[in-house]
Amino acid sequence: EAAVTQSPRSKVAVTGGKVTLSCHQTNNHDYMYWYRQDTGHGLRLIHYSYVADSTEKGDIPDGYKASRPSQENFSLILELASLSQTAVYFCASSPGQEVFFGKGTRLTVV
Amino acid sequence: GQGVEQPAKLMSVEGTFARVNCTYSTSGFNGLSWYQQREGQAPVFLSYVVLDGLKDSGHFSTFLSRSNGYSYLLLTELQIKDSASYLCAVRDRYNQGKLIFGQGTKLSIKP
In DSSP notation, A22-88 reads EEEESS--SEEEEEEE-TT--EEEEEEEEETTEEEE-S--TT-EEE--SSSB-EEEESS--GGG-EE
pLDDT of amino acid B93 = 77
Q: How far is A41 from chain B (nearest CA, A)?
A: 5
Which residues 61-90 of chain B have a CB within 8 Å of chain A? 87, 89
- Residue A69 dihedral angles phi and psi, to the nearest 5°: -75, -15
Interface of A with B in 84-103 (CB under 8 A): 90, 94, 97-103
In this predicted structure, what is the pLDDT of residue B78? 97
* Confidence at A66, pLDDT banded by 50, 70, 90: very high
Confidence of residue A1 (pLDDT cuts 50, 70, 90): low
Contacts B101 to A, Cβ<8 Å: 35, 42-45
Residue A2 pLDDT greater than 70, yes or no: no
What values do phi and psi take at A40, rounded to 5? 80, 10
Chain A residues with CB-CB distance to B95 below 8 A: 56
Residue in B closest to A106 by C-alpha: B40
